[in-house]
Amino acid sequence: MSLFRVENVKVNEIIEMNQLEIPANQVVCIIGKSGSGKSTFLRLLNHLDSPDEGTIFYRGNDIQQMDPIELRRSITMVPQTPVMFPGTIKDNLQIGQRLSGLSTADEVTLQQALKRVSLHKSLDTPANDLSGGEKQRLALARATLLDADVFLLDEPSSALDSDTADDVIDAFIDFIKSENKSLIMITHDLELAGRVADVTIEMNSYSENVS
């Protein structure tokens, strides 16, 4: 069974997708020109947006018939501009667990999550003091602490320099593979996609199919 199956999906004049299957436990990169619907498509996969027509299945189930809270516990998304909550890095790492009904991790586990994404900051650092790239890394670290099966990342390295981006993405993929998870990631970096992707999806303009 595929992880996601897309059938005859249309969204405004952004996406028209006849059929697509996305396999489980793979690194999937979504590429395409600006305005081709990449971010919209990602939001469809955990029902943050709904298609005007068609159906998206997650593990064989129509996601529009699934409980959205349960769906998003299984499928977590890190947007390009991550949400930061008031308080410290520690507060921001633990809030995702609290909202998901999980026990909060201890400080050793939190430090390991930061190390995984090369964010060398004290847990007591105010989150709003971080740069854009540091906030992206904090959001990625927070995601790794959740008990999700699928991770949706929207341009996760857009605010990072190329060397840091490679290190962070490689470490995140190592985590995904070690935990037997699935990763679907939008990237404008074709070299990165070519290097890390098991599957590449190219989004085209409206009225063209996904290749």
pLDDT tens per residue across span 134-182: 999 999 999 999 989 999 999 998 888 888 899 999 999 999 999 999 9
Domain holding 49, by residue range, is: 4-13+24-203
**pLDDT tens profile 178-207:** 999 999 999 999 999 999 999 999 998 544
Is 199 part of any domain?
A: yes
* Among the listed residues 68, 54, 60, the one whose alpha carbon sits nearest the alpha carbon of residue 15: 54
Give residue 170's pLDDT. 96
Is 19 part of any domain?
A: no
Is 208 part of any domain?
A: no
Is 211 part of any domain?
A: no
Is 209 part of any domain?
A: no
Cα–Cα distances in Å, from 78 out to 39, 178, 182? 11, 20, 14
CATH number for the domain spanning 70: value is 3.40.50.300
12 vs 209 pLDDT, higher one: 12
31-35, 54-58, 89-93, 120-124: lowest mean pLDDT where? 31-35
pTM of whole model > 0.95?
no
Is 180 part of any domain?
A: yes
**pLDDT tens profile 50-62:** 999 999 999 999 9
Give residue 175's pLDDT. 96
Is 210 part of any domain?
A: no
Is 133 part of any domain?
A: yes
The burial class, CB within 10 Å (0-12 / 13-18 / 19+), for 177 is: middle
Q: Give the number of domains in the chain.
A: 1
Measure the CA–CA gap between 100 and 143, rounded to whole angstroms: 11
Q: Is the pLDDT of residue 32 over 60?
A: yes
